[in-house]
Structure 1
């Protein structure tokens, strides 16, 4: 008897900070190397860079976008973390030079460039496509229906057979491929925009149905929010946060909305438009101390968001292995050298960790099980490397139950494996 040949499967982890693709053939998944300026790598930065040339507006993505930006920052528009506005009804479009780009446009451009760097591996159309999505989208009151419509438009070019699967389930399937015993597993996926949790029952190898999802929960808090805490405490006070301005005969505090906008990587690049800059110029003229507002305007006008993002990320990563790290940033009339301690950082993110723990409680409640019934905890995503995040789980579940690895690639690998299942009904959303 000849067994039917399984169709090839493309798994895509479209992430806030990084994106990864994997291909599965006959149930065996492998990551797709994506060409970059310094060689091939499966991890592709979720970023776009726009600039004007003789033919109009040009665009690049991933590490190529970073290179283009670094070559000519003031003449570029660099955008990152744009996935976080997928479910926002308030985001209609981004004005870039003389064009307006909807989320669907940004996503499709990014995917097109990612495909071009895949050496043809992402361009085959006769296969299933499994796209990861967060359990809960980022943002205030995220619109699930709107996010689905936008995702459909972004990924339409990949073919008709497209399914969506919660991102932590992809990580669960990847973890199961290396697990040799039955276990009830809590998967905690810490991305750039959201923290997502799935509880999955994994049977021993050889079972026809090896994985059964039990529950899911999520919260729109993750790596970008942790970055924002560093900005709030180290950078924004030098850009006018807490300052005052005159309004007729009154002295008022500068509205916090300016700093919320600036500290959100998905919105910072979009502040470089005529209307916003005109409003900031007006605020600068009325400010009691106009110098901090001038610094903010300079950072926006000179397109220094990427440099600022890198400085914040460098400190956060350093604090994963050191008790003290140095924050260093220079540009736009602003020069900062500041010592940041891990104790300070952990105090800043304490409210965020409390909400993350509430989401874990919700996942356990929905599964109808307690902490003691979790056999293994699989931590994935870049922010899972933060010591306080790991301690939250080891303290609650025990260090001997914690597993991790392939933090940036496990989701895409597992999504491709899920697509190899004959019945996707238990997984697709």
Structure 2
């Protein structure tokens, strides 16, 4: 009998499920043959039915009436997880929204595999919450409760960078000391691990893990600060009121942050934005903001910013189209602007890596390989800083969206064998 265990990488931006079988690819197709399911839910206003992943984004961008939810993982470890949000006049607990999405992951994986899964190794960041052990434990406990509620009878956890290390280990033929750099949608996680084909056979790998660390900074934070520095000023951020005071910033921060975009559409928010428009010195900018909120296009704008971030990882410039809120309007964005907007975040990541290497008591010259995974690990400024810390290390890029899920599948096979 093939094992009924799988690895579940519930990500801030994208999710995967892996099933480890000899000679077979680990990741299971979750949507139209694709191995990732974007961590997105769209609730249709007319019938309250939900769509998921790329279909959810297509429904939203296609103009269907309803509400888009993204970055639900970011709620774990916060007080919001025990609160509710209003969906078409109904109060829906955030915990239930996470449960619906993870249930969908399980269902799609089982359909692809042609069997049920009763055991799972769930991926988790090294820290759900920085510098708060109690909140971090609550986050893992909550995720475990949700996993059991959707039908997993046994649930274990593994740090996401360790899972990525296991995936890399399956591809090497000699021993290496590897720094895993996992920059996901919500967190940056790191592990320094001794890997080899012989070590892969051990059931207990604790002595091979020299250090693990992380910081609550990820791709959605890059999106946020790129938006705040380049797009939100076009909607009035940083402009002045007639009184000479600066424009209130709360609506802009909500619209720049994936999991708070819907706060800009509340009954309380709209009169405040109208008042900002009445008192604005640059009313044209506030008119763009009002158009955005009136059309509930905050997620559309965030997707434009995310696409620009991705493009600037490959090119020196890109265009951002604002035609939905001001017909015919677009502007050019440079990598230099992008680098400036995220420099403080990259500096925090760099400090975290430095501390991890020091805590392991290993000289930088002793690290053989830096293994990059996670969708945001391709950001050029980030790679440059990591390379400067470890100039002698070989740099390897894994499957940016699949290494963790594949490694979790390997870990599930070992844990539940």
Aligned residues: 411
Quick one: which of 252, 265, 275 aligns to 2:258? Answer: 265
Contact persistence 1:193–1:225 (CA under 8 A):
yes
The separation in 2 between residues aligned to 1:63 and 1:126, in whole angstroms, is 24
Shift of 1:6: 7.4
Shift of 1:208: 3.3
Structure with more helix by fraction: 2
Quick one: which of 239, 245, 250 aligns to 1:243? Answer: 239
Shift of 1:124: 4.9
Moved more, 130-139 or 404-413: 130-139
Contact persistence 1:329–1:335 (CA under 8 A):
yes
Q: Tell me the TM-score normalized by structure 2.
A: 0.90
Asked whether 1:387 is paired with 2:380, we answer: yes
Q: Tell me the TM-score normalized by structure 1.
A: 0.88
Contact persistence 1:7–1:26 (CA under 8 A):
no
Shift of 1:140: 9.7
Contact persistence 1:27–1:417 (CA under 8 A):
no
Moved more, 349-358 or 329-338: 329-338
Query: Residues 235 and 27 from structure 1, CA distance in 2 versus in 1: closer, same or farther, beyond 3 angstroms?
Result: same
RMSD over aligned CA atoms reads 2.6
The separation in 2 between residues aligned to 1:29 and 1:130, in whole angstroms, is 17
Asked whether 1:222 is paired with 2:222, we answer: no
Contact persistence 1:393–1:402 (CA under 8 A):
no
Quick one: which of 55, 58, 61 aligns to 1:64? Answer: 55
Residue by residue over 1:246-274, the C-alpha shift from the partner in whole angstroms, topping out at 9 and shown as x without a partner, is: 6xxx5422232332222101111242221
Residue by residue over 1:258-317, the C-alpha shift from the partner in whole angstroms, topping out at 9 and shown as x without a partner, is: 322221011112422212223322333333444433322321331212321222122222
The separation in 2 between residues aligned to 1:245 and 1:344, in whole angstroms, is 26
Shift of 1:158: 3.0
Quick one: which of 249, 262, 266 aligns to 1:256? Answer: 249
Contact persistence 1:11–1:413 (CA under 8 A):
yes
2:103 matched residue in structure 1: 112
Asked whether 1:93 is paired with 2:84, we answer: yes
Contact persistence 2:30–2:112 (CA under 8 A):
no
1:21 matched residue in structure 2: 17
1:78 matched residue in structure 2: 68
- How does 1:10-409 map onto structure 2 within 5 Å? 10-25=6-21, 30-35=26-31, 39-53=32-46, 56-73=47-64, 75-90=65-80, 92-118=83-109, 120-121=111-112, 124-125=115-116, 127-137=118-128, 143-156=135-148, 157-205=150-198, 208-209=201-202, 211=205, 212-245=208-241, 251-333=244-326, 336-398=329-391, 401-409=394-402
Contact persistence 2:323–2:329 (CA under 8 A):
yes
Long gaps (5+) in structure 2:
none
Moved more, 133-142 or 59-68: 133-142
The separation in 2 between residues aligned to 1:296 and 1:140, in whole angstroms, is 36
Long gaps (5+) in structure 1:
425-429
Look up the SS of the partner of 2:318 in the other structure.
Answer: strand
Contact persistence 1:188–1:197 (CA under 8 A):
yes
Shift of 1:111: 1.9
Look up the SS of the partner of 2:7 in the other structure.
Answer: strand
Shift of 1:383: 1.2
The separation in 2 between residues aligned to 1:121 and 1:163, in whole angstroms, is 22
Query: Residues 422 and 45 from structure 1, CA distance in 2 versus in 1: closer, same or farther, beyond 3 angstroms?
Result: closer
Shift of 1:414: 0.0
Shift of 1:28: 6.4
Shift of 1:378: 0.4
Look up the SS of the partner of 2:182 in the other structure.
Answer: strand
Contact persistence 1:108–1:154 (CA under 8 A):
yes
Moved more, 383-392 or 131-140: 131-140
Structure with more strand by fraction: 1
Moved more, 155-164 or 283-292: 283-292
The separation in 2 between residues aligned to 1:291 and 1:141, in whole angstroms, is 43
Contact persistence 2:121–2:155 (CA under 8 A):
yes
The separation in 2 between residues aligned to 1:163 and 1:383, in whole angstroms, is 26
